[in-house]
Amino acid sequence: MTHVGERSDSAGGGQADKGGSGQTDKGPFNLKWNGRTNRGRRQRTVTYADAGVSIHAGEQAVERLKTQVHRTKRPEVLGDLGGFAGLFRLDTSKYRSPVLASSTDGVGTKLLIAQAMDIHDTVGIDLVAMVVDDIVACGAEPLFLLDYVACGEVQPDRVAEIGAGVALGCQTAGCALLGGETAEHPGAMAAHEYDLAATGVGVVEEDDILGRDRVEVGDAVIAMGSSGLHANGYSLVRHVLLGAGRLRLDSVIEDLGAQRTLGEELLTPTRIYTKDCLDLLREADVRALAHVTGGGIPGNLVRVLPGHVDAVVNRATWCPQPIFDVVQRRGRIDSAEMESTFNMGIGMLAIVAADDVDRTLAFLRGRKIDAWQVGEIVEGSGEVRMLGSYAGG
């Protein structure tokens, strides 16, 4: 990771010239003499640190991250941290017709929960998940990720915590953390504030790209359970629970379990499905994948449907986690708004050939993923139909 630069304010005084004339250097840090007092007086210049930007703190943060970043290294990565660009040697001999896939995303206002609780080692996982699971949705293997951290003040320990989460997420997804940027924005952000973003790049054989052109009538829709809210809808969550609901992050809500505070629930990291999906592609006839983020199940499943089919989703096949009910009841939010905002307990959807349903479910459950058939593909006009009521509702 690279960092902004800073001029030093501790340079020494001027040196005599090499010609032996006795005259001193006229540089900005030369000692000036006051004729009235005959004492040396240094004219100090304004530095980057005076403006609130510390290069030293940035360098400390990078140094503390090196071990975690090295754990994400793939054989294709060239060089080390600190260069102007990350280098990745793509082995094109492995592919007939390689296509690069890319995605950029952030974590959103879930970061405000992390900042309020002073817990920073999970939001990096959320960041990686939002990027790599978009990439795998087209059938691509994520190769590397570049992150960007903007903060009011670089606090090395905190930046290292954030970076450790990013590195762990990359390890989970099997991609390299190739580099990034940490920027200090004094005046634009408070000292404790920060924002995260990342861009990932992956590769897929052109013939293997997943999408709506592969989906057929009779295919099955398989759900993969989420770990909770993931990283979408937090502006609404904060409004109804912490604002109008007047709850505290350290509140223990009975519905969430006696040993779990609201803040701990809200910081549950987003599940990363990348490796599981890539391996599933080798085990079953997968037609399409839909990463369930903002827009919920209907808003994301519709993105992989051709115009001549509908996806029918049966709510009775699962029960969303308690946090969704807490948000809906406390906020008096109608069901349509909930389903268009939150994942409702499903983080990834796979459309597979009908003959491969049992194989798909056995494989995913063997990987400790809560998976079930949630619906099917029928003739239609490119819409998602949500039917029935949630189990236990």
CB-facing half-sphere around the CA of 49: CA atoms within 13 A: 11
> Which CATH homologous superfamily contains domain 212-387?
PurM-like C-terminal domain (3.90.650.10)
Q: Could you tell me if 123 and 114 are in contact, meaning their C-beta atoms sit under 8 angstroms apart?
A: yes
Show the CA angle centred on residue 186, arms to residues 185 and 188, nearest 5°: 70
SS3 content of the chain, % helix, strand, coil (to 5): 35, 25, 40
Could you give the residue ranges of the DSSP H alpha helices within 259-385? 262-266, 274-283, 296-301, 322-331, 335-341, 357-366
Q: What is the bridge-based pairing of β-strands 141-151 and 176-184?
A: parallel
Q: Could you tell me if 386 and 339 are in contact, meaning their C-beta atoms sit under 8 angstroms apart?
A: yes
CATH 3.30.1330.10 assigned to domain 55-208? The reply is yes
Q: What is the pLDDT along the chain (393 residues), one digit of tens a residue?
A: 443 433 333 333 333 333 443 444 444 334 343 444 444 455 667 656 665 656 666 666 667 667 777 888 899 999 877 778 999 999 999 999 999 999 999 999 999 999 999 999 999 999 999 999 999 999 999 999 999 999 999 998 999 999 999 999 999 999 999 988 999 999 999 999 999 999 999 999 999 999 999 999 999 999 999 999 999 999 999 999 999 878 999 999 888 876 789 999 999 999 999 999 999 999 999 999 999 999 999 999 999 999 999 999 999 999 999 999 999 999 999 999 999 999 999 999 999 999 999 999 999 999 999 999 999 999 999 999 999 999 976
Residue showing tokens 């090395």: 156
State both tokens at 55. 């290069």
DSSP bridge partners of 286: 352
In the chain, domain spans: 55-208, 212-387
3-class SS of residue 391? coil
pTM of the model: 0.85
Dihedral of the alpha carbons of 252, 256, 257, 261, in degrees to the nearest 10? -30
